[in-house]
Amino acid sequence: MGYLEKYKQWTTDEYFDAQTRNELLALENNDGEIKDRFYKDLEFGTGGLRGVLGAGNNRMNLYTVRKATQGLANFIIKQGGQEKGVVIAYDSRRMSPEFAADAALCLNANGIKAYVFESLRPTPELSFALRELGCISGIVITASHNPPEYNGYKVYWEDGAQITYPKDVEIISEVNAITDYSAVKTMDLETAKEKGLYHIIGAEIDDRYMEELKKLVVNPIAEECKDMKIVYTPLHGTGNLPVRRILKELGFTNVYVVPEQELPDANFSTVGYPNPEDPKVFTLAKKLADEVGADIILATDPDADRLGVQVRGTDGEFVLLTGNMSGALIAEYVFSQKAAHNTLPANAALIKTIVTGNMADRIAAHYNAKLIEVLTGFKYIGEQIKLFEETGSNEYVFGFEESYGCLIGTHSRDKDAVVAVMTLCEAAAYYKSQGITLYEQMNRVFEKYGYFKEDLVSVTLKGIEGMEKIKEIMGNYRKNPVKEAGGLKVLKFRDYEKDTITDLATGDVTPTGLPKSDVLYFELEEDAWCAVRPSGTEPKIKFYFGVKGTSLTDASEKLDKLVHDPAFAVG
């Protein structure tokens, strides 16, 4: 069926509600928009759905959410897991509560219990609740840090991590097998409650989650550090209540929340693009921090799984830490303090993704921990935790990715900005008791392990043409791999889709040892590197760069030269 036929079906079939049909009829003379909404189904990828809100089979709406849920329900039934149930959380985005309720009622109509949070909750708490309640699966309605016009739908399995191979492929197959939206089951809320299928959860899970976080404290907060001034912004998302609660229960008395960004706002009206990687989201927080004389500024993204950090430098100005820097800062604190307290496991492991900086390797080596590298996506870190539990091969201590996500402990199997806030503030208080600021400690980490510096360049290419352009760019790099960049030779070329590592000097080819993924990685001289990959959640192609210098100035110069090399320019 072509896109115009699908459009006609959605505008005439009374299965689709009047609001949906009217929205589409208003596009009658806009062929480009019609094509974009109907040329393909919104892809249920390896983590779930993510897309622009609106009517059409290539948009996030009640019908695409129900279809995805029906596919998940079919898989759960085949696994014999319907009695265990599914837990559902959602964030502050448009349609999030409605999508959560509709997903629950679809599950209920298939005889599967649903445990739905009473109001918005962070993604990591969903991961925690799934295992706490003994459910077979979990769903979180969120588009993370995407712009306001987006929403998404992520699926978790009973280990608490997002679905990975082979379950992701099997669930995708079930979703794709549904070609008739009217075949999707649903039921009304009252009937679902009467049958004991629809359950509301909330405070009791919050309490248990908080208790698990507090077990991870290594150094209780010293009295002289409890008045440390912290500015925090939830960026209109789910972090506000849990972050404030954990800091209060740890004893911090001067936590200032940015008032304009405290409450949920589906339009993210003060920032637009609620991404803690973007320095612009800190504008109001920095203003407040200067007013109160804050030591640090913290920002969590809308579903509170990623943390952005700014620390006050020696000149009094705030410095934004990259995800690699904050991850290394937390890793060094956790490993050093566990070592000092003799609680660091002999078989400790530190996990990072393939596009995360190389300082992680040095930290792991220093503490005799195993360094494990996984594909981009925190679900692969969660997968390793499960493997450790099954085999006893290693004990998880810390994992992080360059995009501001990390996890301390195993209460969650996804990145957790709430526990990251807790640990970073604990670290700040500990170093303050030693007469050191976080900024000074970051410099000590550089001095100890090397002056590593990284950058990320994202190029947005929207629509059908953009998708084709991204494929073309990746294809060109595969056919003609870069041999030199930034004045440095490429030593090895990794193609994760082909599972190959090619030594450019000898021509020898070895496997990557990781699952196939559309990622290219160039290993350069002097510990430099570049990786290229399409975004899994936005219409972008991403270029990751990393260097090691003899000083921060030297590293900055090397990085600038590499980032601006014509070999990685997209025309």
CA pair distance 175, 160, nearest whole angstrom: 21
CA of residue 19 relative to chain centroid, distance: 33
Nearest to 352 by CA among 367, 379, 371, 369: 371
Long-range contacts of 223-226 (CB under 8 A, 24+ apart): 224/432, 224/433, 225/428, 225/429, 225/430, 225/432, 225/433, 226/251, 226/252, 226/253, 226/429
- What region does 482 belong to: left with phi over 0, alpha with psi -120 to 50, or beta? beta
For helices 167-176 and 62-78, what crossing angle results, to 10°?
120
144 catalytic? Reply is yes
Closest to 56 (Cα-Cα) out of 181, 154, 155, 175: 181
Return all residues near 214 (Cβ < 8 A) that are at least 6 apart: 246, 249, 250
Distance (Å, whole) CA 97 – CA 108: 16
In one letter, which amino acid is 458? S
Largest CA distance in the chain: 70
Catalytic residue among 144, 336, 403, 412: 144
Alpha carbon distance 76, 185 (integer Å): 15
Rg (CA), the chain: 24
Neighbours of 182 (CB within 10 A): 8
Query: Do 349 and 410 meet the contact criterion of CB atoms below 8 Å apart?
Result: no
- Decide: 321 and 296 in contact? Cβ < 8 Å: no
CA 352 to chain centre: 13
Contact 89, 203 (CB under 8 A): no
> What b/e readout covers 52-70, taking b as 16+ CB neighbours within 10 angstroms?
bbbbbbbbbbbbbbbbbbb
Pairing of strands 405-408, 395-401: antiparallel
Catalytic residues: 144
